Amino acid sequence: MSDLLTKCEVCQSLIDEEDLFCANCGTEAPRRNDDPQPVGNAARTATHNFDCSGCGASMSFDATVGSLQCPFCASVDMVEKKDAKIIAPTKVVPFKLSRASAVAAMRQWLGRGFFRPSNLSQRAAVVQMQPVYVPYWIFRAGTHTHWTADTSHTPGGARGDWFPMSGEHRGDYPGLLIGASRALQPGETSRICPFDLDAGVPPEEVDLEQVTVEQFSMPRKYARPLARGLVEEMEAKTCAGRYVPGRSRNVHANVRIESMSSEPVLLPVWIMAYRYKDQLYRFLVNGQTGRATGLAPFAWWKAAAIAGLVLAGAIALLLCSGVIAGE
């Protein structure tokens, strides 16, 4: 176990070195005299807490403001929970996109793609739409990388087609976003990025009582390895793209992360459920930029038609070849 991790005195869960309290039970974390001042992760008391029995999402919202329905899966089987300590965001990025603009972004997205039904954008009926503040971790990392690679740009007189190279690179990654949602998949939370994090404001400047706020379901210690993997992947691409001329292969980056810090934030997401031919699909729109992602029905008849055309073309080519051979 890392010497930077401690255990909660109450529930014995692991506590990250930057945490001020246990994410499992809310007990204040034991501090060492030489601990650095942590960035964020203070606790706040959340009221109006509910767990969804359908998708497992934990959220806070005033049930008197709207219908008691999960914005992530449209389930009405919501279990009320007691007031609890949760991770407090250091900042909140407010909604910028209106409801009408979010619906327009959805219909524009549904109209793209050859293998979607032609009438999908017109026939998709929005059955639920809700603004939700979704939890993310922002990581900042500095790196020092030693890399090796082969380049197709060989010097004069070289006998082979590939030439080995190596070098060093120092990188800085100030705004890596890792989704901390339980209800949304990692692919969903990443596809609606990026967000303009400079637009973030202190939590007290946003009325979080009037909207749904999903609570942090991924502790920092579990988000950190995902951030490290993302940094290593980006470093390998950066080294190959910046330093290796021509085509590259066998790119290896030995990444040393010299510094990494993080803070919890809430980001704006319009979450919609739309119906097409008695089937429900989930759709997400970045509440700041309009970037969209979601699920859409597949037009199998289009795929079958293309497969039929390809098969007919192949048969015609074979018959033509047989006629020519017979002559």
pLDDT along the chain (327 residues), means of 10: 61 67 67 48 68 79 61 80 81 95 90 75 81 95 95 83 94 94 90 95 89 88 91 94 93 91 94 85 93 80 76 79 60
- Tell me the chain's radius of gyration from C-alpha atoms: 26
Record the pTM: 0.77
State yes or no: cis peptide before 202, omega within 30 of 0.
no
Residue 282 CA to residue 185 CA, distance in Å, equals 12
Distance of CA 280 to the CA centre of its chain: 22
Residue 202 CA to residue 180 CA, distance in Å, equals 19
Cβ atoms of 45 and 81 within 8 Å: the answer is: no
Residue 324 CA to residue 17 CA, distance in Å, equals 77
**Residues with Cβ < 8 Å from 72, sequence gap 6 or more?**
52, 55, 57, 132, 183, 184, 271, 282
Residue 71 CA to residue 57 CA, distance in Å, equals 9
Helix, strand or coil for residue 267? strand
Instruction: Catalogue the long-range contacts made by 47-50 (C-beta closer than 8 Å, 24 or more residues apart).
Output: 47/83, 48/209, 49/80, 49/81, 49/82, 49/83, 49/84, 49/215, 50/78, 50/79, 50/80, 50/81
